[in-house]
């Protein structure tokens, strides 16, 4: 797939999940074969006001190539200025969030709220395109609700505004993350525009990845929640498409080793206090479905040190081996 003049080799991108797709997780997913990553969404107003957290969210590691920085907001001028700051990070593209369903984002006119005002959404993209010299991409949803499935209209306007690629999450804002995913509307978008279309929604294994591509005809896929606690999903998808091989889930020992390495990197980037608190959700995802994991949830919920996490990993391994 090519986004503007940027060639992306592979099949799957990591979605810009707020509070999850930080530098540590992005780097890990790239290591496991993610072909493209997008940062957590960054507030355009925060960037203009020189908010330190916003600057931190945009920081990209040396291995994060190709990577896009995602910004959100509802004012064309502010978004244009924020895009310049995003482009200065060395990212290959600026991505505009027009799909976030969170009330604090949509309630202030950003994210998925822009689905209700396609003309404003197009003006934002046009302003951002004029402000930067790198490709601009846009991520949006099927529509606001089932009575307003306007992804095709959005796609036409976004292409006309200069977007170099479009990512469509096949759910409405009202759905949030509830099933089902509307693959047909992604297909309609693909048939409507000439720029690349990236399909997003409920890709959890090679079979669902293949189904997304076959049903929609999209150029690329984006994985979000399917990669939580399972960054090796990218390796599994690559192996399937490259060689027709279905890789099994990694052994428990490997899963725990990946978890520990992930959290150690997280702490290195954010410090132990923040890193270990964020480790609580990641650890719960890594051990989900493993025999004996349920009994450790309370312990995970109060994690404070990497040694505690190592102890939990040992217990998970022992429990799994004892029940084989």
Lowest mean pLDDT among 126-130, 175-179, 215-219, 221-225: 175-179
Query: Counting beta carbons within 10 angstroms of the beta carbon of residue 73, is it exposed (0 to 12), middle (13 to 18) or buried (19 or more)?
Result: buried
CA terminus-to-terminus distance, the chain: 43
Confidence bin at 65 (pLDDT 50/70/90) = confident
Active site residues: 100
CA dihedral 229, 268, 306, 41 (to 10 degrees): -40
The mean pLDDT of 64-74, rounded to a whole number, is 95
Q: d(Cα 145, Cα 152) in Å, to the nearest integer?
A: 14
Q: d(Cα 226, Cα 233) in Å, to the nearest integer?
A: 8
Pairing mode of beta strands 2-3, 6-7: antiparallel
Q: What is the mean pLDDT of the chain?
A: 94
- Show the tokens assigned to 59: 């920081």
Q: Write down the pLDDT at residue 81.
A: 97
**Which tens digits make up the pLDDT trace of 209-219?**
999 999 999 99
- Highest-confidence segment of 52-56, 245-249, 290-294: 245-249
Q: d(Cα 132, Cα 146) in Å, to the nearest integer?
A: 35
Lowest mean pLDDT among 58-62, 127-131, 223-227: 58-62
- Show the tokens assigned to 7: 């060639």
**Which tens digits make up the pLDDT trace of 142-187?**
999 999 999 999 999 999 999 999 999 999 999 888 889 999 999 9
Q: Write down the pLDDT at residue 324.
A: 57
Lowest mean pLDDT among 186-190, 195-199, 281-285, 318-322: 318-322
Match 């490997």 to its residue by tokens.
254
Asked if residue 66 has a cis previous peptide bond (ω within 30° of 0), the answer is: yes
**How many residues are there in the chain?**
324
pTM, 2 dp: 0.94
Q: d(Cα 324, Cα 68) in Å, to the nearest integer?
A: 43
The CA-CA-CA angle for residues 213, 218, 220, to 5°, reads 80
Q: Write down the pLDDT at residue 323.
A: 63
Q: d(Cα 251, Cα 290) in Å, to the nearest integer?
A: 11
**Which tens digits make up the pLDDT trace of 254-308?**
999 999 999 999 999 999 999 999 999 999 999 998 877 778 888 899 999 999 9
> To the nearest whole percent, how much of the chain has pLDDT over 90?
86
Domains of the chain in start order, with CATH, are 2-243 (3.20.20.70), 252-322 (1.10.1200)
């Amino acid at each position: 797939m090519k986004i503007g003049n940027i060639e992306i080799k592979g099949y799957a991108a990591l979605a810009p999940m707020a509070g999850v797709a930080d530098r540590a997780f992005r780097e890990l997913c790239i290591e496991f074969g993610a072909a493209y990553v997008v940062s957590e969404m960054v507030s355009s107003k925060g960037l203009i006001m020189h908010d330190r957290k916003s600057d931190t969210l945009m920081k990209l590691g040396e291995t994060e190539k190709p990577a896009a920085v995602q910004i959100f907001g509802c004012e064309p001028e502010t978004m244009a200025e924020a895009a310049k700051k995003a482009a200065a990070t060395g990212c290959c593209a600026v991505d505009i969030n027009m799909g976030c369903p969170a009330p604090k984002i949509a309630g202030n006119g950003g994210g998925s709220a822009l689905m209700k005002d396609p003309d404003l959404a197009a003006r934002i993209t046009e302003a951002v395109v004029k402000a930067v010299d790198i490709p601009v991409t846009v991520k949006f949803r099927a529509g606001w609700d089932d009575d307003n499935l306007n992804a095709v209209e959005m796609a036409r306007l976004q292409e006309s505004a200069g977007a170099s690629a479009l990512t469509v999450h096949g759910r409405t804002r009202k759905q949030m993350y509830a099933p089902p995913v509307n693959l047909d509307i992604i297909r309609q978008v693909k048939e409507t525009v000439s720029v690349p279309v990236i399909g997003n929604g409920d890709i959890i294994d090679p079979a669902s990845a293949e189904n997304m591509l076959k049903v929609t005809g999209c150029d690329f896929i984006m994985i979000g929640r399917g990669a939580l606690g399972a960054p090796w999903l990218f390796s599994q998808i690559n192996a399937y498409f490259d060689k027709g091989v279905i890789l099994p889930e990694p052994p428990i020992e490997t899963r725990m080793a990946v978890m520990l390495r992930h959290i150690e990197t997280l702490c290195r980037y954010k410090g132990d206090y923040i890193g270990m608190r964020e480790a609580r959700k990641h650890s719960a995802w890594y051990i989900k479905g493993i025999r004996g994991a349920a009994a450790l949830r309370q312990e995970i919920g109060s994690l404070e040190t990497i040694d505690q996490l190592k102890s939990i990993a040992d217990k998970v391994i022992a429990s799994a081996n004892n029940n084989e």
